[in-house]
Amino acid sequence: MTRRATLIKRERVDRPQLLLLDGGNTLWGDAGLAAQTQGRVMVEAMNLMGYSAMALGELDLQLGADALRERMAEASFPFLSANLVINSTGQLLARPYVLLDAGGRQVAVIGLTGSGSVPTAPGEQAPLEEPLSPWDGSDQPVDVPRSRQRAPLGGPAHVIGALAVTDPAHALSKALYALRWRTDVIIVLSNLGWEANARLAQSVRGLDLVVSAGPGQLMASPWRAPGTGTPVAQCGVYPQQQPGSLLGKVRLHVDSAGAVDRCFGSHTALSSQIVGDVEMRDLLRRFQKLCVHPRESA
């Protein structure tokens, strides 16, 4: 986290208007400060780094609706999900999209939440078991196993505690309709996983970038979807061996007709050669003390 903060500060020197996005599955883990603070340390760290928006991922939902609302209140950036609802009321838990200003341009970021990749507790809806075959990078349509299609796209709601992940295709449609004529650039921030996101980019025209997260594969140089040309990039995978070890970068140019004519991307490894940011280190140490000596700190 300290190295990530260093790199982000460096990038902002050259491009103060850059957007900083997180694709989700971020707030919570099995152990460590994030688990012990129910994701609060992650939110405070992302506040410090100046995140523009974050999509809620299935793993984040393990915190529960109440803790998520607390984290949303603490965050200086919006949590996004167009397809995450409170099960009892059907109302959205978070904002479906946000309009951001990037150097005088209106950039819409739409959040989509995946489902079926995190093991559920006994009694809850069972996760989908059919394994995903790796996408081979060809221009052929991605063949998503039928059982996988059901949860991420077009299937019934996936219930996680008091929350439900609904059909992302329908949610995306509603968001796009609400955004018509209001934005210069449309980015989808989605943790449906690589294959579903690739299919989305192939199928829906008018998207300028899909920032993909969740199950699947890393994609440093953005893949251009056949037919639409929409770039898709992914710098994190759930589950993975070394989470948080990469920072993704994308630069794109949208021409006056609204087409993405240039797109470059890369991953930067947060190696030990990068000097950690002092402010971030101090923040983490504060939480560490709170974590080790909660009574003294209180």
Task: Map the footprint of other proteins across residues 148-177, applying CB under 8 A.
Answer: 149, 153-154, 167-170, 172-174, 176-177
Q: Which residue type occupies 160?
A: I
- How far apart, in whole angstroms, are the C-alpha atoms of residue 288 and residue 245? 21
Among 254, 253, 275, smallest CA distance to 264 is for 253
Does 67 sit near other proteins (CB under 8 A)? Answer: no
Of 37-45, 64-72, 83-91, 123-131, which part binds other proteins (CB under 8 A)?
Answer: 37-45
Does 291 sit near other proteins (CB under 8 A)? Answer: yes
Q: Which residue type occupies 278?
A: V
Other Cβ atoms closer than 10 A to 84: 31
Out of 126, 133, 244, 297, name the contact with other proteins by CB under 8 A. 244
Does 145 sit near other proteins (CB under 8 A)? Answer: no
Does 220 sit near other proteins (CB under 8 A)? Answer: no
With respect to other proteins, which residue has the nearer C-beta, 123 or 257? 257
Does 276 sit near other proteins (CB under 8 A)? Answer: yes
- Contacts of 240-247 with CB under 8 Å at 24 or more apart are 243/29, 244/1, 244/4, 244/270, 245/269, 245/270, 246/218, 246/270, 247/4, 247/7, 247/8
Out of 81, 166, 202, 230, name the contact with other proteins by CB under 8 A. 202
Under 8 Å between Cβ of 212 and 76? no
Q: At what angle do helices 168-179 and 194-203 cross, to 10 degrees?
A: 40
Does 107 sit near other proteins (CB under 8 A)? Answer: yes
Of 72-80, 81-89, 124-132, 246-254, which part binds other proteins (CB under 8 A)?
Answer: 246-254
Out of 160, 211, 219, 232, name the contact with other proteins by CB under 8 A. 211
CB of 12 vs other proteins, minimal distance in Å: 9
With respect to other proteins, which residue has the nearer C-beta, 163 or 208? 208
Residues 16-35 that bind other proteins (CB under 8 A): 17-35
Other Cβ atoms closer than 10 A to 55: 32
